[in-house]
Amino acid sequence: MENSNCKLSVIVPVYNVERYLKRCVDSLLAQTEENLEIILVDDGSTDRSGALCDEYAQRESRIRVHHKENGGLTSAWKAGMELAQGNYVGFVDSDDWIDKEMYERMLKMAQREDADMVVCGLVFDFEDPKIPKREEISNFKEEVYDRKALEALFPRLLNDGCFFGRTLQPARVTKLFRTELIRENMKFCDERVALGEDMQITFPALLDTQKLCVIKDFYPYHYWINNHSITGKYDRDYMDKVKLLAERLQTISQEKQVYDFIPQIRNDFLSMSVLAVKNEIYRNYTAGKKAVTENVRRICEDPQVREALKNHTMDKLSLSIRLYLWLMEKGHYSLCYWLVLVFFKVHYYLGREYKRQ
């Protein structure tokens, strides 16, 4: 290590994951970077997760446990950050796991470059063995970005003109942050946000970052997707969650005042609105076509969605997405319904439907 006094804190929100917790914590204990503390935040688990956390803490001095009432993912981050003592902080979800060299490589890069943020990639690991693993990383092209280079990315940071064209992939779990950078921006993390929570911390943190580093071709984080995650369940509040996230991103943009991200936030909101339509169609199928189509109409005729359909600036859309947005704008809700059903059935059969947002 270049600086043996540089300590790392890893925050793990824990909620009803007794089936997966051992795999996660064991991967942290196996890290080649030994100068770390592991903070397990039991967010009011009702299974044996909390007891398992305590058992680990009794055996391993690097593990600290905090038990709290259930408050959701964001409240668990905040509780963990209050305890963090490291110079840098990382996050791992309790049903995932990481390769043993992940944090050693990221911390060495952070120290070598005096970076505020270091980014790596992740691997989607599916419970269904028929679905092949898939790798993902943020769309940063260079290895090192100083402040000037980062500011050059701002015009396409949240949307580059494509459908979901995020240069910044929001996942907090693939990033190592300077601890003070996160502490200063936790005020932007609204505990009501239950969709896209990661964006409300990675976005403001990046806007304050003076140097960012990317470890190329490195995918040490294993994002676990069980069969329930693939099929999912219907969320009747999905569109409200989409609107709340967009509101929070607008607030961050306005308060930071480093760039006008409002057009990009509108584009991102419209992309999320398409997912809200799909949520109604392929996850609310038991309600019947008439009820589902009415819900699609309600989404598409929402004033904020209408405004986004009219004024978005995405100019690199595929023909299929252009068609779907046109159908939404013109009120062809039955066609929206049938097209999504056909798309979902074909792609689910091929094992490509799931995409992490």
Which of 5, 39, 253 is closest to 111 using CA atoms? 5
Mean pLDDT of the chain: 92
Mean pLDDT of 17-21: 95
Token readout for 96 is 């995932």
pLDDT for 118 beyond 60: yes
What is the token pair recorded at 259?
A: 């760039």
Q: What pLDDT sits at residue 158?
A: 97
Q: Which of 128-137, 172-181, 289-298 has the lowest mean pLDDT?
A: 128-137
Residue 322 has pLDDT above 90, yes or no: yes
Quick one: which of 323, 355, 288 has its CA closest to 280? 288
Residue pLDDT, tens place only, 226-261 = 866 655 688 899 999 999 999 999 999 999 999 999
- pLDDT tens digits, residue range 40-65? 999 999 999 999 999 999 999 999 99
Q: How far apart are CA 94 and CA 15, in angstroms?
A: 8
Q: Which residue type is seen at 11? A: I
- β partners of residue 177: 89, 117
- Mean pLDDT score, 207-222: 97
9: three-class secondary structure by DSSP: strand
In this prediction, residue 137 carries a pLDDT of 87
Interval 323-341: pLDDT, tens: 999 999 999 999 998 888 7
- Higher pLDDT: 218 or 2? It is 218
Nearest to 215 by CA among 124, 313, 101: 101
Residue 349 pLDDT > 50: no
Cα angle for residues 41, 45, 47 (degrees, 5° grid): 130
Instruction: Give the up-direction half-sphere exposure of residue 179: CA atoms within 13 A in the CB hemisphere.
Output: 17
- Structural domains in the chain, sorted by start: 8-230 (3.90.550.10), 232-350 (no CATH)
